[in-house]
């Protein structure tokens, strides 16, 4: 799945947030708010990292290089079944989203 709003909505659902399927909002503290840009912005990725850690899903992010150039980002997390899962992406936010969804057992 490509980075963007559909992936962001999937992550919000994985976090257990109530999401409006037709527009990019979620219910939090009794108010509807915009879903963070988990998969495309560092700020959104930070929200995911903090929320997931509270739920018991820590992350480790690595950059992968070959011949002096960046290949991609790899993110590791611990799945619900306590196995290590990997998420890859051309950006760190996308890799984190993919690892989180795999950790939650959600097909990516």
Do the domain assignments include residue 42?
A: yes
For residue 13, CA distances in Å to 63, 72, 84, 107 come to 27, 26, 21, 13
pLDDT digits (tens, 9 = 90+) for 70-105: 899 999 998 877 888 989 999 999 999 999 999 999
Do the domain assignments include residue 87?
A: yes
Do the domain assignments include residue 33?
A: yes
Predicted confidence at residue 80, as pLDDT, reads 79
Q: What is the CATH number of the domain that holds 43?
A: 3.30.2120.10
Do the domain assignments include residue 18?
A: yes
pLDDT digits (tens, 9 = 90+) for 22-40: 777 766 667 778 889 999 9
Containing domain of residue 41, as a range?
Answer: 5-103
pTM of the model: 0.87
Do the domain assignments include residue 108?
A: no
């Amino acid at each position: 799945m490509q980075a963007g709003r559909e992936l962001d909505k999937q992550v919000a659902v994985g976090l257990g947030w109530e999401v409006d399927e037709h527009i990019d909002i979620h219910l939090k503290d009794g108010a509807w708010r915009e879903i963070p840009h988990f998969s495309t912005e560092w700020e959104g990725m930070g929200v995911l990292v903090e929320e997931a850690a509270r739920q018991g899903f820590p992350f480790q992010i690595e950059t992968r290089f070959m011949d002096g150039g960046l290949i991609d980002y790899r993110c590791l997390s611990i799945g619900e079944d306590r196995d290590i899962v990997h998420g890859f992406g051309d950006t760190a936010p996308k890799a984190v989203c993919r690892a989180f969804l795999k950790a939650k057992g959600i097909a990516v």
